[in-house]
Structure 1
C-alpha cells in the first residue's frame, strides 16, 4: 500500500472521540466526536491544504521579506509565499515527526529543527496529542538545544468545522479587545487597534455575516483557569481554548482567497498563537530561548 502524502497515520480514540494525527508536520488530520466532524480536515489520500491542522514552528504567519535581525545579526529566510513576498508558517509543516510515546488515546511526537541558512538555531519540538470524550488537547514544548539564544514563535492551524451551516450564519465569539490590522496585499501588520465599533468586534457572538477576516486578535479575556475560549456555533457548539503563553489567536474565514476553504470541507480557522504576524521583525510577543531553555504551550478543542 502506498504511503499517504501526510505519512504515517496514528488514530487516537476515547469514548466517542476519534482523531488522526500524522507524521508530516506532526499535525492533526481529523477530529470527530460521535462520528461528526469537529475540525474541517483533509482526506488520507491528500496533502494538507491551506495549513489544515498543521503546526507553525518556529514562527506562525508571515515574516516580512523573510528578513529579520536578531542578537545583532541579519538573517534571510527563503520566500515561501510568493504572492506576498514573505516567509510563512515556519519550518516544520512538511517535516517528519517521530513517536516517542503511544497509547490508545495519546501520542507524543518529536522533531529536531537543525540550523540552516536564515535560521541558524537548533530546537527540539515535542507535541503531545490527547483525546477524551469531549475533545482534544495539544501540548507542545520547544527546547533550545543549540549553543546560542534563539527566536521562537508558535502557532497551530486547525479549522473548526461548519458542517451544513453557511459561514454567514455561523456565530463566532472571540473574547478579545484588540485586533492586528494588516495591509490587503501582503497581509502584514499595519497596527493594533481596539475592536470596538469595527467589523472585527466578535465579542458578542453575533452571526459572521459578510465579514472576511484574516487577522490576529489579542487582549484576550481569560477565565479562572488562565485560559481564553473562542466559541463557534454552527451545526454544533465547538470551543477552542488556549492557555498561558498563547496571547494571540488568528481567525481566518478564507472565503475570498485562493488558499481558503473553497472546494474543501467548510470551516473557519481559529489559530492559537504565541505571537502576532511578523514578530521576528517587530519583536512583539517574540520568545527568546536561552540555550537549554524550554517554552511550553497548551490548547484544546471541546464540543457540547
Structure 2
C-alpha cells in the first residue's frame, strides 16, 4: 500500500536520524539518540497542520488569494477557504524528485510552472543533511522562466522536548516585534512586544497562551543566526535561521495544542505579496536569479 506522502527517505549520521518524504520534501521525523526533536507523523498518516512541509513560493497567507505584480492582479486559489486566503504556497502536496542521495543527506527538486495566480516558472531544491551538529536544511530557488516572479519561503517543523502539555515548555524567541493581525490572521501593524504576552525573550514557560504569531526584529548571535530555544527538564530543542530568514512564526493553535510547538523560519511575513507592513520582505527573482537560505535544528 502506498503511503499518503509517497516514498520515505531515511538519512542517518551517528545518533541523528531523519525521515524525509517524497511528497512535499517533508521532514517527517528527526530524532537524536532515539528521542524526537521534531515531532512529525507516521508514514501511514496524512499530513495535518502543515507538519514538516516546505512552503514556497510564498509562506503563510495571501489576502483573498489576490496580489498585484508587474502591472497585473494575480488571483490564486483560496486554499484556506474558512478565512478566504491562499495559504502556504504551491509545493506542499506535489512530488519532489530526488536528485542526490547519501547516507546522511538527500536533495529533492520541484518545478512550479505558470498557473492561475502564479506568473512564472521556478525550480527549487531542498537538501536535508544530518551530522553531529544536528539537522541542516538548505533551500535554493531559481527563476528558470522569462519573467520576474515574487518569492518567499518558509518551513513548518514542530519541535518537541518530550512534553505532555506545551504549557510546561520554556520557550525563548529572540524577537523585539510581532505582527498584529485581524480575525483572518492578516497584517494590521508591526508592534513592539514589550510588556505583552507576545514577549517570549525571557525563556519563561509558555503557560496557557495560544499562539499563531509572526515575529520580526530578530536578535542574532555572532554567527548571524537567530535561535529559538525550547526546554523542559533535561530536554532541549533549538531551531536556527540564517540572515535570509527575517521572520519567525510560532504556532500552538488550539486544535493542535499539546502536540508540540511549530517554529517556522520565514523569509517574509504574512501577506508579503501585497502592500502593507510586511511587503518589504517579498523577494523578486529576475530570470536566471536565485535565492539560497538555510535553517536547522539541534536537540538533546
| TM-score normalised by the chain length of structure 2 | 0.96
Partner residue of 1:196 out of 190, 194, 197: 194
Q: Is the Cα contact below 8 Å between 2:143 and 2:288 reproduced in 1?
A: yes
What's the CA shift string for 1:148-202, capped at 9, x where partnerless?
Answer: 110000000000014234211110000010001111x211111110000000000
> What is aligned with 1:106?
105
Q: 2 CA distance for matches of 1:173 and 1:289?
A: 33
Q: Distance in 2 between matches of 1:5 and 1:175?
A: 36
After TM superposition, what 4+ stretches of structure 1 lie above 2 angstroms from structure 2? none
Deviation track 1:231-284 (CA, whole Å, cap 9, x = no partner) reads 001251111000011100000011x2x4x356xxx2100000000000011323
- Displacement after TM superposition at 1:112 (Å): 0.4
Q: Distance in 2 between matches of 1:6 and 1:135?
A: 24
Q: Mean Cα displacement is larger for which, 53-62 or 130-139?
A: 130-139
Deviations 1:75-125 (A, max 9, x none): 000000111000000000001001111100000100000111110210000
- Stretches of structure 1 that go unaligned for 5 or more consecutive residues are none
- Aligned partner (choices 184, 187, 192) of residue 186 of structure 1: 184
Aligned to 1:78: 77
What residue number does 1:252 align with? 251
* Residue equivalent to 2:282: 286
**Aligned mates of 2:166, 2:45 — CA distance in 1:** 24
The 1:9/1:261 distance shift into structure 2, 3 A limit, reads farther
- 1:275 matched to 2:274? The reply is no
TM-score between both structures, scaled by the size of structure 1: 0.95
SS of structure 2 residue aligned to 1:224? coil
SS in 2 for 1:99: strand
Count of matched residue pairs: 296
User: Which whole-Å CA distance do the structure 2 matches of 1:52 and 1:62 have between them?
Assistant: 16
**Alignment check: 8 A CA contact 1:33 1:133 kept:** no
Root-mean-square deviation over aligned CA pairs: 1.1
Q: Where does the alignment leave 5 or more consecutive residues of structure 2 unmatched?
A: none
Summarize the Cα distance change of 1:51–1:43 in structure 2 as closer, same or farther, 3 Å threshold.
same
Which residue is 1:234 aligned to? 232
Say if 1:165 and 1:234, in contact at 8 Å, map to a contact too. Answer: no
**Residues 150-229 of structure 1 mapped to structure 2, 5 A cutoff:** 150-183=149-182, 185-229=183-227
**CA distance in 2: counterparts of 1:31 and 1:297, whole angstroms:** 20
